[in-house]
Amino acid sequence: MANPNNEYQWATDSAFPPHAATVPKAVNKSDLQIFNLVAFLQTGGMLVEPPRPISAQYLSLAPNASTTSLDQVVANNQLQRGPPGVSHNMLFPFNIGDRDDWYSDAVFAQQHFTGTNPTTIKCIGDDLKAEFEEAALKIDNEEHKENVRNHLTTHAASLYVQDYRYFRVAMGLSADQQIASGDGRYGAAPVALFHLRDDGKLHPLAIVIDYKGTMANSVVIFNNRLEPAPDDQPHNLEKEDWPWRYAKTCVQSADWLRHEVTIHLVNTHLVEEAVIVAANRTLPTSHIVYQLLEKHWETTLSLNRQARQSLVPNVIAKIAGAPWNELVSFMGHAYTTFNWKGLHIPKDLESRGFPSTTDGLDNPKFHNYAYARNMVPMWQAIRAFVSEVLKAHYADNAAVQNDQCLQNFCDEMLTPQSGNMPSFLNISDSQSPLDDLIDTVTMCIHIASPQHTAVNYLQQYYQVFVPNKPWSLYQPLPTTLGELREYTEQHLIDALPFKNTKDWLIGAQLPYLLSFEVIGESSLLSYAIHQSSDPKADPAIRTAAQQFEQQLRTLQGVFTQHSNALDDQRTPYTVMDPAVTAVSILI
């Protein structure tokens, strides 16, 4: 029997994309059933109104407001380590600030392959390439100018970017409007240019710190070092290059916003919620698509409710470099531009200028892009599982098109008054309905499990150490290259929340709260093991899950090999191990 519609109603009149108006009692969970108790209580105490006093012990986790050196922040970070049995806090586990090269070009670049947002780096387009070439003509030093121009020409096919130009459009701002919260915090819409070398090293070449319509109207800085430093060479020159370090911080701050609001919140949590509501309004619980997806919905609705009620308005909005109305616009833009087909892993990688096959990604040029190298075989494994199950239930394309419940589900996702996702599967218009259905169900599982795991569970490591990836800047950005060139360490310190202790603690606590790993029985591998032996499972699911389990066990070894192949062996990439990949959006 289908779940009655009155249990799952759409809320479409709030600041958030379409979601469940209420969480049905049968699937409801309390906050303390979702979050780590200690971390939740630590966070909650700072959010209540009026806020509870922050203990001296917790205050010690933030640097002194009179800090004059980032090395002092590193030292404070390392002081928080403790012997076994000491009460945990957000700085207790190791984080990127424990590295003596955390600020380096190599570590900065690698985060765009294996950090919290490894999903948006892409091959440069002709428009940006032409603008960077034009900007290079303005370099004062003639020798450096010539070297940069030659580099851009010689390596044109291997130039990649992180492109945040769309921020102003997404926020409803004009090209020259400042991104600012209105109460002391500032945002940026940068563009970072990288060279992906044939040996696989990704190296930053230039940064537009805040793109304002054209590069001619923006501040553009080129790296003084066009090639990576040798692995055994100290990073002294990079450490003291404060204008360049400030520019990298602008990129990291923009990526914090893009990651938290778009890549993490909208593209996993909120998109999956639309699937959950639509499916429960249209599909019988006995329907094979419902049976395939239900286990991947655990906790998600309750968690998302908490995000809408507290984490987004009381944490993200209070520290971001944009006001609430612009953040709402930014969320809406992310949701309405979500591309169900374009973000299928093979299509997504191809569109961003990377190989979409395991053989292609085995090229040494891509050996550091472990996210992509893992996600391709993971997608293939999930798709093979889904395909075996659905082909056991649908004999051909006509059987899919004649399934009225399935048609109702798709219509519910497509309709503006319901899911409002125009890129979702439209069976009536599909040329290959069965294949498209397999891809769509694969995508639903991908979003809830490996994709959310990849963008969620590394937050503590990369983001609790605030200078690595601040949520906003606390001083206006420089408006000329000459001004930026005068920047010192103090300018960078002034741009970080040293004088805003509560902001520092809340912003660092958020990734700590959201990064607690799943327990074994909630992993994707455990799901496959359970489904393969569950007498209540659909026979096709039970049979297909046996092969799925074996594929996931094989991937454990493959993913270990990919991590071991990274140039950077100080930060392993193990987040996608099927034994710790969450089966659903659990936190």
pLDDT tens per residue, range 377-434:
999 999 999 999 999 999 999 999 999 999 999 999 999 999 999 999 999 999 999 9
Q: Is the pLDDT of residue 205 over 90?
A: yes
Average pLDDT, integer, range 195-200? 98
What is the phi/psi pair of residue 356, to 5°? -115, 10
DSSP for residue 430: -
pLDDT attached to residue 45:
56
Beta strand residue intervals within 117-169, DSSP E: 122-123, 159-163
18, containing H or E segment: none
Q: Mean pLDDT for the chain?
A: 92
Q: Which residues contact 343 (CB under 8 A, 6 or more apart)?
A: 267, 443
Nearest of 576, 539, 547 to residue 561 by alpha carbon: 576
Rounded distance between C-alpha atoms, residue 566 and residue 370, angstroms = 8
pLDDT attached to residue 12:
81
Rounded distance between C-alpha atoms, residue 451 and residue 148, angstroms = 36
Q: Which region among 60-74, 196-210, 490-504, 542-556 has the lowest average model confidence (pLDDT)?
A: 60-74
Share of the chain above pLDDT 70, in %: 91
Beta strand residue intervals within 18-133, DSSP E: 19-20, 122-123
Q: Which residues contact 479 (CB under 8 A, 6 or more apart)?
A: 219
Rounded distance between C-alpha atoms, residue 530 and residue 524, angstroms = 10
The type of residue at 155 is: H
What is the phi/psi pair of residue 307, to 5°? -65, -45
At 338-372, the pLDDT tens digits run: 999 999 999 999 999 999 999 999 999 999 999 99
pLDDT attached to residue 86:
43
Owner of token pair 């074994």: 520
Rounded distance between C-alpha atoms, residue 70 and residue 181, angstroms = 25
Share of the chain above pLDDT 90, in %: 82
Query: Rg of the chain over CA atoms, in angstroms?
Result: 24
H helices, E strands: number in the chain: 28, 7
Rounded distance between C-alpha atoms, residue 149 and residue 130, angstroms = 11
Q: Is the pLDDT of residue 90 over 70?
A: no
Q: Counting Cβ atoms within 10 Å, is residue 432 exposed (0-12), middle (13-18) or buried (19+)?
A: exposed
Q: Is the pLDDT of residue 44 over 90?
A: no
Q: List helix spans (H) across 362-500.
A: 370-393, 397-401, 404-414, 433-446, 452-456, 459-463, 481-485, 489-495
Q: Is the pLDDT of residue 274 over 50?
A: yes
CB-CB contact of 433 with 427 (8 Å): yes
